[in-house]
Chains A and B, each alone.
Chain A
Amino acid sequence: MTRVLDADAHDTGTVDTAPTRADQGYDTIFSYRELARLDEALTMSSRETGLRFTLYIGDLGPTTRIRAEELHARGGDPLDSVLLAVSPGQRVIEVVTGASAARRLPDRACALAVLSMTNSFASGDLVGGIVNGLRQLSDQAGHPHRTHGH
């Protein structure tokens, strides 16, 4: 396994070269296969529904709901975005839906998805729970054109 060297980082990236920099050594929380599953779940559910699903995994501080709503507001397109904020250390998941996303994803549907996710999390399956939760949420939200009725 390669490890990140304990050297002082000196940032040699410029504005132009920074996006292609690959020497940063990402925190290997997930394996590549798990990353691919997460990526596919996020991308496909976002494309199917027209909403913007994002996933935050990390500490949420003492006031988890407020922190999650801050993060939701900071991400792009807050009206149409849905944030899944998972804090495995605190054993908390917060789902935040924007104002127009909440019309298609009522709180009750979010609670149901959260319930299934926490079931998986409790058995130690982070990625599986997230993928299934995203599937439930996107099924509930449906296709954007279908909301007008036909």
Chain B
Amino acid sequence: MTVVETLLVFVVAPLAVYLLLWALTYLPGGRKRQGLRYKPGQPWEHEPVWYEPQPENAPTHAAGEGDTQAVGSSLYGEPAAIGSSDGHGPSSGGSHGATAVSAGAPAPAAAGPLGGARGTW
């Protein structure tokens, strides 16, 4: 085994392994797949979004009753608001994406006392 071979095997090869692992760990791009990272204190500049549970028999029927079978299957909003069969018709106001709240909709009166809790962080 020559000196060059020794160096290659015992110095260059371990260094290559270390560099590969370092690159896989620290180089940018790896974290982008995990979506947005929330940090407390930063402003929240996203559209409001309202998620609701899937109805009991959701996966079998197509989006016929105004349910959306979209991304999370729980995006509450525009499809249900537009396609709902309660006679509103296409209320194509300023409904973006997954917003459920249209400003013009009248808020029905609450029935009974409400409970709950509040927290800050």
> In the docked arrangement, what's the CA distance between A130 and B113, Å?
24
- In the complex, which of the residues B92, B100, B112, B120 contacts A79, with contact meaning CB atoms closer than 8 Å? B112
Q: Chain B residues near A125 (CB, 8 Å)? A: 38
Interface of A is mostly: mixed
> In the docked arrangement, what's the CA distance between A62 and B53, Å?
28
Q: Chain A residues near B96 (CB, 8 Å)? A: 24, 27
Q: Chain B residues near A15 (CB, 8 Å)? A: 82-83, 89-90
Q: How many A-B residue pairs have CB under 8 A?
A: 215
Q: Which residue of chain B is the closest to A74 with respect to CB atoms?
A: B107
Interface of B is mostly: loop
- Tell me which of B67, B92, B100 has the highest count of chain A C-beta atoms within 10 A of its own C-beta: B100
> In the docked arrangement, what's the CA distance between A81 and B6, Å?
71
Q: Chain A residues near B79 (CB, 8 Å)? A: 18-21
CB–CB A58/B118 < 8 A: no
CB–CB B51/A92 < 8 A: no
> In the docked arrangement, what's the CA distance between A72 and B96, Å?
20
Known: A36-B72, A92-B118. A47 touches B53 (CB 8 A): yes
CB–CB B83/A19 < 8 A: yes
Say if the beta carbon of A5 comes within 8 Å of chain B: no
Q: Which residue of chain A is the closest to B107 with respect to CB atoms?
A: A70
CB–CB A34/B35 < 8 A: yes
Q: Chain A residues near B110 (CB, 8 Å)? A: 69, 72-73, 78
Taking residues whose C-beta sits less than 8 angstroms from the other chain, chain B's interface range is 35 or more
Q: B56-109: which residues lie under 8 A (CB-CB) from chain A?
A: 56, 63-64, 66-68, 70-76, 78-80, 82-83, 89-90, 92, 96-98, 100-101, 105, 107-109
Residues of B within 8 A of A (CB): 33-41, 43-54, 56, 63-64, 66-68, 70-76, 78-80, 82-83, 89-90, 92, 96-98, 100-101, 105, 107-121
Further contacts, 19 of them, CB under 8 A, given A18-B90, A64-B118, A118-B119: A13-B82, A19-B63, A19-B68, A21-B79, A27-B49, A27-B96, A39-B73, A42-B53, A53-B53, A58-B47, A69-B110, A74-B100, A78-B108, A79-B111, A96-B116, A105-B115, A117-B119, A121-B38, A124-B37
Residues of A within 8 A of B (CB): 11, 13-16, 18-22, 24-36, 38-39, 42-43, 45-47, 52-59, 64-65, 68-76, 78-79, 87-102, 105-107, 110-111, 113-115, 117-119, 121-126
